[in-house]
Amino acid sequence: MRKLPPPVPWLAAGEAFPPVGSAWSHQDPAPGLLAAGAALDVPTLVQAYSLGIFPWFSHDQPVLWWSPDPRMVLHTQNFRLHRSLRKSLNHFLNDSSCEIRFDSAFSQVIKACASKPRAGQSGTWIVPDMVQAYSALHQAGFAHSVETWVAGELVGGLYCVNLGGMVFGESMFAHQTDASKIALVALVAFCRAHHITMIDCQQNTQHLTSLGAAEITRTDFVDHLRQNVGKTAPFWQFEPVYWNQILTARTPTPS
Single out the residue in 33, 49, 67 at which a domain terminates. Answer: 67
Query: Is the distance from CB of 69 to CB of 162 less than 8 angstroms?
Result: no
Q: At what angle do helices 179-193 and 83-93 cross, to 10 degrees?
A: 80
Measure the CA–CA gap between 196 and 101, rounded to whole angstroms.
Answer: 19
> What mean pLDDT is reported for the chain?
93
pLDDT over threshold 90, residue 145: yes
41 lies in the same domain as 130: no
78 lies in the same domain as 46: no
142 lies in the same domain as 155: yes
The HSE-up count of residue 47 (CA atoms within 13 Å, CB side) is 16
- pLDDT of 157 reads 98
Measure the CA–CA gap between 217 and 215, rounded to whole angstroms.
Answer: 7
Residue 1 lies in a domain: no
Nearest-CA neighbor of 245 among 144, 138, 103, 100?
100
Query: Is the distance from CB of 186 to CB of 224 less than 8 angstroms?
Result: no
50 lies in the same domain as 147: no
pLDDT digits (tens, 9 = 90+) for 10-62: 999 999 999 999 999 988 899 999 999 999 999 999 999 999 999 999 988 99
Single out the residue in 67, 85, 109 at which a domain terminates. Answer: 67
Domain of 102, CATH number, reads: 3.40.630.70
Say which amino acid occupies 226: R
pLDDT digits (tens, 9 = 90+) for 223-254: 999 999 999 999 999 999 999 999 987 666 55
| H or E segment to which residue 214 belongs | strand 214-216
What contacts 24+ positions apart, CB below 8 Å, involve 132-138?
A: 132/40, 133/40, 133/41, 133/45, 133/55, 134/45, 134/110, 134/159, 134/161, 134/170, 135/106, 135/107, 135/110, 136/41, 136/42, 137/42, 137/45, 137/46, 137/161, 138/103, 138/106
Single out the residue in 67, 88, 115 at which a domain terminates. Answer: 67
3-state secondary structure of 113: helix
Torsion angle, CA of 181/187/188/190, rounded to 10 degrees? 150
**Structural domain total, the chain:** 2
- Cis-peptide, bond into residue 19, ω within 30° of zero: no
- pLDDT of 65 reads 98
231 lies in the same domain as 168: yes
151 lies in the same domain as 202: yes
Domain of 46, CATH number, reads: 3.30.70.3550
In which domain, by residue range, is 80 found?
72-247
